A and B are shown apart, each in its own frame.
Chain A
Amino acid sequence: MQTIDLRGVTCPTNFVMAKLELEDIEAGTTVEFLLDDGEPVKNVPRSLKDDGHKLLGLKEQDGYYTLLLEKGAD
């Protein structure tokens, strides 16, 4: 599974980077994003849901978060 590391990237750059990465991925594929605590973990999942992707889960480890997501159809 592809992992996209967005740690250290602030809002809204992290969301725009996530969008760009998802452009090259086929619908139905599962990917994970690494997100910082704070604004990123609050904002990025919600914005990706708004864009039509399916959120599958969120896990915390060592102070950051892993968001599991299935790419939606365009």
Chain B
Amino acid sequence: MAEQKIDLRNLKAGGFIKERGKDLFTVRLRVPGGRLSVDRLAKIAAVAQKYGKGYVHLSVRQSIELINVNFADFDAVVAELGEEQQKVASCGARVRVPTACGGCEYNPNGLVDTQKSALEVDEKLFGTATGHHKFKVCFAGCPFDCPKSAINDVGFQGAVWPSLDADACIGCGLCAKSCTEGALAMADGKPVFDAKKCIYCGDCIKVCPTSAWSAAKKGYTVRIGGKWGRRPLIGTLYATFVPEERVVDFIAAVLAWYQEKAEGAGRVRLGDIIIREGWQSLLNHLSRDFADFVVAETTAPQVIVNQIPLPGQA
């Protein structure tokens, strides 16, 4: 065997993607939640300058991709990025780097600490082999859902359950005006809450001048079974108000079900396995450890009709 020019262990975890040109690869970096220090960014820029093409690409899932890296330089690239603790991401049938929106320290809409959740999942589950296909997780801070939770294998969305202290209410009507969902209406100078319409956004709590509204529960709304790509699926609701500290366990439980049920199915995403096995199976599995949070029933992932191939095309 020829003498090895590079450390093949660096390749094993993935993150090196073959490009068109001979010997050239894209190096995808691990940026959980899309947040990175300016020092790391400067290091990445220096490495890209030295080994790359002079530009980088920001991937749709918040990674920075170094373009046109010669495979002979892999070890140097990994070592130099390592000086600022910058790691290379993964590809293949593994748990991918979780994405998240900016974070509630500065985004006024944020209800939960999505950055913290993304870092925790990255630390504990990143790279876990699924045995079947890729597995994507994201964290949205609130029901605006910028990270698009329903098109991830497991998508989390920050939520609060509002509760009213009627004695503290001065009847200003701001909460009812703020509720875009029509879950609040003023009657006799007090807001009346229609739980069936509430999407847990917390706007009423944020606007109330007297803190008459407060969060009785806080956590994540969880949708499962989504993906994009050639045959998109929209994930559906499995749990509400999952506490932040149970997120890793929750994902691990979904993974365990996927690993078992997809046995022998080949390269098939979670959503398609749910369609095959029935949502009841996954819901039952999750209700063992998460009985307080799972919903009574859900639906199969929703198939998105993308209109291609054209009907009638031979």
Interfacial residues, chain A to chain B (CB-CB below 8 A): 41-42, 45-47, 49-50, 54-58, 65
Query: In the complex, what residue of chain A is closest to B173 when comparing beta carbons?
Result: A58
Complex CA distance for A73 and B138, rounded to whole angstroms: 40
- Cβ contact within 8 Å between A45 and B174: yes
Q: Which 3 pairs of residues, A with B, have the shortest CB-CB distance?
A: A55-B209, A57-B172, A46-B207
* Chain B residues closer than 8 Å to A50, beta-carbon distance: 108, 206
* Chain A residues closer than 8 Å to B177, beta-carbon distance: 41-42, 58, 65
Minimum distance in angstroms from B106 CB to a CB of chain A: 12
Mask for B217-246, Cβ within 8 A of A = 1, else 0? 000000000000000000000000000000
Question: Which chain B residues in 44-85 approach chain A with CB under 8 Å?
Answer: none
Minimum distance in angstroms from A65 CB to a CB of chain B: 7
B178 CB within 8 Å of chain A: yes
Minimum distance in angstroms from A22 CB to a CB of chain B: 16
Category for how many chain B residues contact A: 10 to 19
Complex CA distance for A54 and B173, rounded to whole angstroms: 15
Give the one of B172, B173, B180 with max A CB within 10 A.
B172
Report if A56-B178 is in contact (Cβ < 8 Å); known contacts: A45-B207, A49-B209.
no
- Cβ contact within 8 Å between A42 and B172: no
B203 CB within 8 Å of chain A: yes
- Cβ contact within 8 Å between B203 and A56: no
Report if A55-B172 is in contact (Cβ < 8 Å); known contacts: A42-B203, A50-B108.
yes
* Chain B residues closer than 8 Å to A55, beta-carbon distance: 172, 174, 207, 209
Complex CA distance for A45 and B207, rounded to whole angstroms: 7
| Residue from B108, B172, B180, B203 in contact with A58 in the complex, judged by beta carbons closer than 8 Å | B172
Query: In the complex, what residue of chain B is closest to A69 when comparing beta carbons?
Result: B209
